[in-house]
Amino acid sequence: MPEPIGIRVKDITKTFRGTKALDHVTLDFETGLMHGVIGPEGAGKTTLMRLILGLLHPVSGTIEYSEGRRPISYEDLRPHIAYMPQQHSLYADLSIDEHLEFFRTLYSIPDGIYKTKREELLRMTQLTRFADRPAGQLSGGMYKKLGLMCALLRSPRALILDEPTNCVDPISRREFWEMLYRLADQKILILVTTSYMDEAERCARVHLIEKGEMVATGEPRALLAREQARSFDELFLRQARAVSLEAIR
């Protein structure tokens, strides 16, 4: 069985035109867990994910990758990591099946493995009877499920999902998280960004970010108990207020 993947962000700073998108951020994404990076729009979540993926480069700081206890390079990790971006990235005129065929070719997946994986993913997402429907005609929840299928087709060991439940109805959100739980049981490292505070408690570890700074991190229930907060809405507002007051000083 392959060793689990881990990612460590150390003192990362990133600026855009003189504005700090991330300010000395340090995070440890422990192996085999589902991590939630929680914060409002503009907090720096997407920038952080793009840095981890090597799509952006930091002004300072480092990002370390590991397999078990062994350090590896991002080039070593690249074949085993999948990314589902926040913005629409699928082809509206291609059907679900045509998308899966496209990514099968892109990833050079053998026919036998692809057939099994296709059936497994369609069953998991409950999209089997919609396999011929174009992506442009899918509901928001179904579209997100298709994006997840395309990301999972290569059987990744690390999965990065940027705002996967944004603009999705409550039922589809619940179904999406149920799928993530099944993936987490396989000890895949999962990084999920979201602006929904109620989704924080669904993760094994949460990392609250506001204006490019980490304001709290830890296991959800333990973090709430430590901060004496009843909910993550309350905790986040309190921490965000503290950051704002510190900035004024």
Q: Is 69 exposed, middle or buried (0-12, 13-18, 19+ CB in 10 A)?
A: exposed
pLDDT value for 88: 76
pLDDT tier for residue 247 given thresholds of 50, 70 and 90: low
> Would you tell me how many other CB atoms lie within 10 Å of the CB of residue 95?
19
Give the whole-angstrom CA distance, residue 108 versus residue 190: 23
Q: Is 97 exposed, middle or buried (0-12, 13-18, 19+ CB in 10 A)?
A: middle
For the chain, domain boundaries: 5-88+157-248
Q: Specify the CATH number of the domain 5-88+157-248.
A: 3.40.50.300
Beta bridge partners of 193: 37, 162
Highest mean pLDDT among 165-169, 203-207, 238-242: 203-207
* Average of per-residue pLDDT across 100-123: 94
pLDDT tier for residue 86 given thresholds of 50, 70 and 90: confident
pTM score of the predicted model: 0.89
Q: Say whether pLDDT at 117 is over 80.
A: yes
pLDDT tier for residue 78 given thresholds of 50, 70 and 90: very high
pLDDT tier for residue 150 given thresholds of 50, 70 and 90: very high
Q: Residue 64 has what DSSP assignment?
A: E
Average per-residue pLDDT for the chain: 91
pLDDT value for 1: 67
Q: Is 57 exposed, middle or buried (0-12, 13-18, 19+ CB in 10 A)?
A: exposed
pLDDT value for 187: 84
pLDDT tier for residue 172 given thresholds of 50, 70 and 90: confident
pLDDT tier for residue 244 given thresholds of 50, 70 and 90: low
Least confident of 12-16, 175-179, 192-196, 237-241: 237-241
Q: Say whether pLDDT at 140 is over 80.
A: yes
Q: Report yes or no: 154 and 109 within 8 Å, Cβ to Cβ.
A: yes
* Average of per-residue pLDDT across 47-66: 96
